[in-house]
Amino acid sequence: MAVNAGPGSWPSSRGAAFVSAVGAALGLVGAVSCGGTVSRGAPAGDGGGSFAASAPVGACGAVTQQHAIEGATHVAICSYVDYQTLPPSSGDHYPVWAAYVTYDQPVPEGYWVHDLEHGAIVLSYNCGEAGCATDVAAAQQMMDQYPDDPLCTSGGEGIRHRLVMTPDPRLDVRFAASAWGWTLRANCFDPDAFLAFAKAHYGQGPEVLCANGEDVLGTSGDPPGCGAPP
């Protein structure tokens, strides 16, 4: 379910969210230990489509990398999409996107990749059974303090900015961030590194709009295994 949804609300059905957005447009694989080294490649197998990664930065060894755009076609909700980066950074996605909130359960990637297309930053984490409450709290604080986006606040939906946070059991690092065509992978949450990434890549998706999405866990009724490989 979504938590810390803030003062805004989202449409009660997928159809309402999708139609609203179209109108606006037209006008965790297992957790890793915190002391490990972050892979500097595109771990999902990008087939040569990624650019050179940065050197690790800060106490969490944060690595930033640009990736080739994989596509942007709408596919059936809950269908499997074989994203070539981990975390995903672009690609085919569902016609509905996730509400700009923090989730306490994994959101199927096909939803939030659509958020990336709208210029969102998506934070994801995989801390195993032990969890990482301190890191999650620090990430939430960054989101809460992130500057308001006039494109969002002018919409009257109570949205402050295009930020999402979700657990991701496929992730092979503890914390990551995605933007359209970019990823940040780290051994823990480094506020400075993640804030710099957000400021550098926020609002740079190919579709410039900030209509809210749907609470895809609280209201969707998706079947178990939504978005999982066949």
Segment 161-168 mean pLDDT: 98
Lowest mean pLDDT among 29-33, 34-38, 133-137: 29-33
The confidence band for 30, taking pLDDT boundaries of 50, 70 and 90, is: very low
Cβ contacts of 169 within 8 Å, gap of 6 or more: 28, 29, 106, 126
Provide, rounded to the nearest whole percent, the portion of the chain with pLDDT above 70.
80
Say which residue, 81 or 16, is predicted with more confidence. 81
Query: Over the stretch 109-141, which tens digit does the pLDDT of each residue have?
Result: 999 999 999 999 999 999 999 999 999 999 999
Using an 8 Å Cβ cutoff, are 164 and 216 in contact?
Answer: no
Q: Residue ranges of the alpha helices (H) in the chain?
A: 14-26, 109-117, 133-145, 150-153, 191-201
**What is the C-alpha separation between 123 and 177, in angstroms, rounded?**
4
Place of tokens 């295009």: 162
Taking CA atoms, 120 is separated from 37, 67, 180, 222, 230, in Å, by: 27, 16, 8, 23, 28
Two structure tokens written together for 161:
């900015």
Indicate whether 46 pLDDT > 90: no
CB atoms inside a 10 Å sphere around CB 225: 11
The mean pLDDT value for 26-39 works out to 43
Contact 163, 100 (CB under 8 A): yes
Q: Which of 98-107, 137-146, 207-216, 220-229 has the lowest mean pLDDT?
A: 220-229
Structure tokens at 152: 């969002």
Task: Name which of 92, 126, 124, 122 is nearest 110 in CA terms.
Answer: 92
Q: Which of 36-40, 51-55, 166-170 has the lowest mean pLDDT?
A: 36-40
The pLDDT assigned to 11 comes to 37
**CA–CA gap between residue 3 and residue 122 (Å, rounded):** 15
Mean pLDDT of the chain: 85
- Side by side, the strands of the sheet bearing 182-186 are 2-3, 102-103, 163-167, 121-125, 175-179, 182-186, 63-66
Domain extents in the chain = 2-201
Q: What percent of the chain has pLDDT over 90?
A: 73
Q: What is the pTM of this model?
A: 0.83
Lowest mean pLDDT among 24-33, 107-116, 137-146: 24-33
pLDDT at 151: 96
